[in-house]
Amino acid sequence: MNKKEPTPFLATHPGEMIKDELKERGMTQKQLATETGIKPSVLSETINGKRSVSLHVAVALEKALGIPAEVWMNLQTQYDLDTAKIAERDDQRETIAVTIPVRDRNLLRELVRKFGWVCVL
C-alpha cells in the first residue's frame, strides 16, 4: 500500500532546534561557538536558517551538546525534503480567475496585502 505522505505547511530548519537547545541550557550563541570551535558567523547563519547544518557542524554539536550528529543530519535532510515538497506543491497550485464587484475592491486589496494574492485591478 503506497500512501503519499502529506506535505507540511512549513519546513522547520534545524537551526530552530539549536536555538531551542541553547534556550533550554541557558547558553548563548557565543558560548556554543567557543565550545564547538564553529565560527560565530557560521553558527549564527545556521541558527537563523541561512546555512545548512554541515557534517562538520553536526559533529561539533554532538561533542558540545551530546546530541548525536546523525540527529542533526537527519533534521537537515528532513528540512531539505520538506522544502522541496513545499516548492513542488506550490508550483502545482492552480490559478483561479475571480471577478470582484467594484464596491468590494478595497476588500480585495486588503486580501492581497495580507495574503500575497496577485490580482489585476
What backbone phi and psi angles, to 5 degrees, belong to 44?
-60, -45
Report pLDDT for 1: 45
Q: Residue 100: which residues within 8 A CB-CB, separation 6 or more?
A: 107, 108
Low-confidence ranges of the chain (pLDDT < 70): 1-3, 93-105, 108, 115-121
In the chain the first and final C-alpha atoms are separated, in Å, by: 47
pLDDT at position 114, please?
72
**Quick one: pLDDT at residue 65?**
97
Q: How many CB atoms lie within 10 A of CB 114?
A: 8
pLDDT for 27 equals 97
Minimal CA–CA distance to 36: which of 79, 50, 12, 44? 44
